[in-house]
Amino acid sequence: MFETLILILDSTVRLSTPLLLACLAGLYSERSGVVDIGLEGKMLGAAFGAGAVGYITGSAWLGLLAGIGVACVLALIHGFASITNRGNQIVSGVAINFLAIGLTGLLGQTWFQQGGRTPALPDGGRFENINLPLAETLSGVPVIGQIYSELLSGHNIIVYMAFAAVPLTWWVLFRTRFGLRLRAVGENPAAVDTAGIDVIWLRYRAVLICGILCGLAGAYLSIAQSSGFIKEMTAGKGFIALAALIFAKWRPGNAMFACLLFGFLDAVAIRLQGQEIPGIGEVPVQFFQALPYILTVILLAGFIGKAIPPKASGIPYLKERT
């Protein structure tokens, strides 16, 4: 029983990681007042960039860099449309998602001729799992040793980066001058502007951080979790991350728990597929798949607290009326 639990929690961590990175990415963007439903597209683009460069160079780190680069380019398109041109941010996000699906499929087929996927990564092209010190030695110790060696140890570097990004994001947002300004620009950009701070530049920086984190999330999918890019491999994870962001009420700590919860649901769904639960019977796997969305809707309905987005999110900032 305990071992099963450890195994489920272990896969929870693996499944939560891309959600968490994308969720934190959305957090920076939306806290600055730029709504981003293009997380999915940026992740997908990054996964492709990482998979392609990882395969060609055989270096996971160069792959990661390429993934981040692709996501940042897409993020800048979103920024140009929604910050500079004051276009509709939802529409821009939808466009990013379309572009990512189309371009990854098209270029993937052109470059690698494998129906849109990238070839399996060579040695070194993939982030390997890291065994924490003493994991082997302690694995015999009951409970604590097992938790340490099975659950905490043996993940790849991006998993640890994702969970380290949570306190870091908290510190940046709530303990630095940049974070204060970032939150202010999402609530009341006019006040920030009056204080002599450049609203446009501030929002661009937020959107770029969003791109970097989406790049990590995408690279995780293609060169850490699996060995290569598969067509449309994000499969809605960007939208689950968006749901998690709302579920977390735009706070970094909550974001981690929301992503762990949604990852846990996913892990349980995989585990329980075709199995009977005593007293309930077989629960359809689709129910678990839909549960994150259902929970978010229930939250939005105001039955579990209240989710209030940053006040200026979705509204382009206009310095002067013409």
Which residues lie near another protein (CB under 8 A)?
37, 77, 80-82, 85-92, 94-107, 109-110, 116, 236, 239, 242-243, 246, 284, 286-287, 289-290, 293-294, 296-297, 300-302, 307, 309, 318, 322
CB of 148 to another protein, least distance (A): 36
Please, what's the b/e burial string for 94-111 (b: 16 or more CB within 10 A of its CB; e: otherwise)?
ebbbebbbebbbeebeee
User: Looking at beta carbons only, is 102 or 253 nearer to another protein?
Assistant: 102
- Distance in angstroms (rounded) separating the CA atoms of residues 241 and 268: 18
CB of 163 to another protein, least distance (A): 26
CB of 245 to another protein, least distance (A): 10
Q: Is 157 left (phi over 0), alpha (psi -120 to 50) or beta?
A: alpha
Torsion angle, CA of 95/101/102/106, rounded to 10 degrees? 150
Please, what's the b/e burial string for 300-311 (b: 16 or more CB within 10 A of its CB; e: otherwise)?
eeeeeeebebbe
User: Looking at beta carbons only, is 90 or 135 nearer to another protein?
Assistant: 90
Nearest to 263 by CA among 58, 14, 57: 14
Other beta carbons less than 10 A from residue 298's beta carbon: 12
**Is the separation of the CB atoms in 23 and 239 below 8 Å?**
no
User: Looking at beta carbons only, is 124 or 236 nearer to another protein?
Assistant: 236
- Distance in angstroms (rounded) separating the CA atoms of residues 208 and 212: 6
CB of 240 to another protein, least distance (A): 8
User: Looking at beta carbons only, is 158 or 207 nearer to another protein?
Assistant: 207
- Distance in angstroms (rounded) separating the CA atoms of residues 119 and 263: 27
User: Looking at beta carbons only, is 17 or 296 nearer to another protein?
Assistant: 296
CB of 45 to another protein, least distance (A): 11
**Is the separation of the CB atoms in 209 and 75 below 8 Å?**
no
CB of 197 to another protein, least distance (A): 23
User: Looking at beta carbons only, is 11 or 109 nearer to another protein?
Assistant: 109
